[in-house]
Amino acid sequence: MEQDQGSIQLPLTPAQQEQILRATGMTAEALTLRPEELEDRIAPGMAYRPWHGLD
């Protein structure tokens, strides 16, 4: 996992790459998310984020 300008990049496995290709017709090697997007997917019920919006 690597960070680039506030984004988190998660490399995809060959099986995940194949799923994306079949579903969308497009290729992908990694999933890139902002930290807030990743948090929403990991813990979607967490509404309290004192740091959110303080940029």
- Number of domains within the chain: 1
Residue 36 belongs to a domain: yes
* Number of other residues whose CB lies within 10 A of the CB of residue 43: 9
Phi, psi of 11 (to 5 degrees): -65, 145
Contact 39, 15 (CB under 8 A): no
> Taking the model in full, what pTM does it have?
0.60
Residue 55 belongs to a domain: no
Residue 51 belongs to a domain: no
Which domain does 12 fall in, by range? 2-42
**Helix residue ranges, H only, the chain:** 14-24, 35-42
Burial level of 17, CB count in 10 A (0-12/13-18/19+)? Answer: middle
* Per-position pLDDT tens, the chain of length 55: 444 568 999 999 999 999 999 999 999 999 999 988 888 888 877 666 666 666 5
